[in-house]
Amino acid sequence: MKAFIDFHIHSCLSPCASLEMSPRTIVARSKAAGIDCIALTDHSCAENLPAFHAACAEAGMSCLYGLEASTAEEVHVLCIFDDLSRAMDFGRMIYSHLPAKPNNPKLFGTQPVVTVNEEVTHFVKKLLNIGTDISFFHLVPMALDAGALCIPSHIDREMCGAISHLGFLPDLPYDAVEVVGDVPAEIARRWPVVRFSDAHQPEQIARRFTEVETEAFTVPALREAFQRLLLK
């Protein structure tokens, strides 16, 4: 099947995202935009995935479960699972590698964990949009070994992109690379190029998306589908 996918969306849990980004709002907006499958990818924390799962289930929306991990070099990497509990385990592990600095909501924004009914259960304590102590070179194999699709985020963006922070894109077996602008042909020949919204506000959902031809919305099927995006 042909499908439109957006695998880079932040919920209200990300301190830099709008509080309007509840799981139900994300699902409703994505549906209205004609997206067939979405993934929630908050900064280095998976705690809003259960509510996101419930919101997708009640709306009949296909979904994957992710997070956007930040490496020691402050490079952002999308780690996307097709299994909620694996994503939660990976999320807890990543969170444990964040510095023990509490968030200051006045400076960075709040980090609420919510239910599907948009009730706040608690606030995540450590600041989420800062680097963990895991290097990029370790994180990529860790994500792949854990069963995730591993996609460096906005590789061509100056802030928290792999090329600007590492000087070049290391030759590692990513499933794809997310880009915002134009990308050199040598990159598009080596890795599948995808575009996702990186939405932090409702109106940003689906501002960028990718069309794939996939058998299913599972990690193996999408991995295969991404290969068809390679520049010949």
Q: Could you tell me the smallest distance in angstroms from the CB atom of residue 164 to other proteins?
A: 9
Q: Does 168 bind other proteins (CB under 8 A)?
A: no
Largest CA distance in the chain: 49
Q: In terms of CB distance, is 101 or 189 closer to other proteins?
A: 101
Q: Could you tell me the smallest distance in angstroms from the CB atom of residue 62 to other proteins?
A: 33
**C-alpha distances in angstroms, 214 versus 9, 114, 219, 220?**
21, 32, 11, 10
Which of 32, 58, 99, 231 touches other proteins (CB under 8 A)? 99
Q: In terms of CB distance, is 158 or 171 closer to other proteins?
A: 158
Beta carbons of 125 and 103 less than 8 angstroms apart: yes
Q: Could you tell me the smallest distance in angstroms from the CB atom of residue 72 to other proteins?
A: 8
Which of 101, 138, 189, 228 touches other proteins (CB under 8 A)? 101
Number of residues located near other proteins, criterion CB under 8 A: 13
Give the whole-angstrom CA distance, residue 144 versus residue 175: 9
Place of tokens 């894109």: 169
Which of 129, 153, 210, 214 touches other proteins (CB under 8 A)? 129
Give the whole-angstrom CA distance, residue 223 versus residue 186: 20
Per CB under 8 A, contacts with other proteins among 46-85 are 72-74
Beta carbons of 126 and 95 less than 8 angstroms apart: yes
Tokens of 69: 């991990």
